């Protein structure tokens, strides 16, 4: 019997992952995703989708390692299944190169990706501006395929989706027994949470089918990620910049930096551009809160502020968020019995 009505606000990679986790692991819950925008119009849709976490302050490395590992393992299983091409998930190998020695040569996620090692001198010869490099195999999760696939999985688990802009969580609590806030940048006005801000990212798509290996500058400024139908070349990281229009100067800078890193791109044709706003926050917010309405206490679980690595930790944070609801429901049942 599905006696707990759950609303998930947001249909990006964080919201849909959370919705699927709840629908599949908490049988007493009926899940409805409410979102202003669905695929292909979310920020998640444009993300390059490379699995590579960043480090959030004030969150233990152990917890961040778990989020990444759970996401990696979940997507690796998909990559090895017959669902891989429909879900848009596949393994990709490449290099992360550094102009200066990084403070940590072995990052906290090194044991999660496959075959992590330092690059040899011979490999580094291709990168005369760089002194040090890491070679590893990770995953690429292309959200234009992955989000519709997740949505299908949600519907198969009995979930529902509804296009709607939520302007008041308190009002939503009138109709639901629990709410997940996975609204990304939307949390700035919805809560409102003034700690949320955009980090503008501009990328371009290139026709360069000879490239199969990714290359990324360790400072995150420049990256070349081959995908199913094009190569993603980036990027920019402009804090507090809300512009969604294409900036021609940014495009020229991206092309120039990427060609310096991978000279064969001089022969590549530009096939498109995209601009997105990373939903950034000083630190990711994943915690339990509550709303009080008409004498009822409605659990509210926040899961937003994933910045530049929402795809990379999507499943891990979704599992963590659904665990918080599980605990809240357990406590409610206990109180009801007392």
Taking the complex as a whole, the smallest distance from the CB of residue 71 to ligand FAD amounts, in Å, to 9
Q: How many CB atoms lie within 10 A of CB 199?
A: 18
φ and ψ of 134, to 5 deg: -120, 140
Figure out which of the listed residues 99, 165, 212, 292 binds ligand FAD, where binding follows CB under 6 A: 165
The residue from 68, 98, 146, 304 that contacts ligand FAD (CB under 6 A) is 304
Give, for 226, the enclosing helix (H) or strand (E): strand 223-226
Residue with tokens 């490379």: 50
d(CA 180, CA 31): 10
Q: Of 197 and 329, which has the nearer Cβ to ligand FAD? A: 197
Which of 5, 24, 25, 37 binds ligand FAD (CB under 6 A)? It is 37
Q: Which is nearer to ligand FAD, 201 or 329 (CB)?
A: 201
Residue 240, annotated ligand binder? no
Among 279, 281, 298, 300, binds ligand FAD (CB under 6 A): 279
300 binds ligand FAD (CB under 6 A): no
Q: In angstroms, give the least distance from the CB of 207 to ligand FAD.
A: 19
CA distance 225 to 212: 8
CB 94 within 8 A of CB 213: yes
- Is 237 a binding residue for ligand FAD by CB under 6 A? The answer is no
Q: Check: CB of residue 232 under 8 Å from CB of residue 203.
A: yes
Name the residue with the smallest CB distance to ligand FAD. Answer: 186
A 10 A CB-CB count for 71 gives 27
Nearest-approach distance from CB 120 to ligand FAD, in angstroms: 26
Instruction: Give yes or no for residue 276 binding ligand FAD (CB under 6 A).
Output: yes
Q: Is 166 annotated as a binding residue?
A: yes
* The two structure tokens encoding residue 196: 């949320």
Residue closer to ligand FAD (CB basis): 120 or 271 = 271
Helix (H, G, I), strand (E, B) or coil at 302: strand
Distance CA 44, CA 279 (A): 10
Q: Tokens 């995209």 identify what position? A: 274
In the complex with ligand FAD, the residue whose CB is nearer, 11 or 301, is 11
Helix (H) or strand (E) holding 203: strand 196-207
Site string for ligand FAD, 85-124 (x = CB under 6 A): ----------------------------------------
User: In the bound complex, what is the minimum distance in angstroms from residue 148's beta carbon to ligand FAD?
Assistant: 13
Binding mask 194-233 for ligand FAD (x = CB under 6 A): -------x-x------------------------------
199 marked among binding-site residues: no
**Between helices 143-156 and 13-25, what is the axis angle to 10°?**
30
Report how far residue 283's alpha carbon sits from residue 277's, in angstroms, rounded to the nearest whole number. Answer: 16
CB of 21 to ligand FAD, least distance (A): 13
Residue 260 labeled ligand binder: no
Between CA 275 and CA 45 the distance in angstroms is 11
DSSP state of 119: P
DSSP at 215: E
Q: Residues at the annotated binding site for D-dopa? A: 223, 278, 308
The binding site consists of: 43-44, 166, 223, 278, 308
Q: Which residues bind ligand FAD (CB under 6 A)?
A: 9-15, 34-37, 42-44, 47-50, 165-166, 182-186, 190, 201, 203, 234-235, 276, 278-279, 304, 306-312
């Amino acid at each position: 019997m599905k006696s707990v009505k759950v609303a998930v606000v947001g249909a990006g990679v964080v919201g849909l992952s959370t919705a699927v986790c709840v629908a599949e692991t908490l049988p007493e819950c009926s899940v409805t995703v409410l979102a202003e925008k669905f695929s292909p119009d979310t920020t998640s849709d444009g993300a390059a989708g490379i699995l590579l976490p960043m480090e959030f302050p004030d969150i233990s490395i152990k917890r961040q390692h778990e989020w990444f590992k759970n996401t990696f393992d979940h997507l690796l299983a998909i990559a090895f299944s017959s669902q891989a091409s429909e879900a848009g998930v596949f393994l990709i190998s490449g290099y992360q190169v550094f102009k200066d020695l990084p403070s940590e040569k072995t990052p906290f996620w090194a044991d999660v990706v496959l075959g992590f090692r330092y690059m040899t001198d011979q490999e580094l010869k291709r990168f005369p501006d760089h002194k040090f490099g890491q070679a590893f195999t990770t995953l690429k999760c292309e959200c234009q395929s992955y989000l519709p696939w997740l949505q299908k999985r949600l519907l198969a688990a009995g979930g529902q989706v509804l296009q709607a802009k939520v302007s008041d969580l308190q009002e939503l609590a009138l109709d639901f027994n629990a709410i997940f806030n996975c609204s990304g940048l939307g949390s700035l006005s919805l809560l409102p949470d003034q700690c949320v801000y955009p980090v503008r990212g501009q990328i371009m798509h290139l026709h360069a089918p000879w490239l199969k290996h990714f290359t990324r500058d360790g400072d995150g400024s420049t990256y070349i990620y081959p995908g199913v139908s094009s190569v993603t070349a980036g990027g920019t990281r402009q804090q507090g910049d809300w512009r969604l229009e294409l900036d021609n100067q940014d495009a020229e800078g991206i092309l120039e930096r990427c060609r310096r890193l991978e000279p064969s791109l001089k022969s590549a044709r530009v096939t498109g551009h995209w601009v997105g706003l990373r939903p950034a926050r000083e630190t990711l917010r994943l915690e339990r809160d509550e709303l009080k309405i008409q004498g009822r206490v409605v659990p509210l679980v926040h899961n937003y502020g994933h910045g530049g690595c929402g795809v990379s930790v999507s499943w891990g944070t979704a599992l963590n968020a659904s665990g918080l609801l599980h605990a809240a429901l357990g406590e409610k049942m206990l109180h009801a019995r007392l």
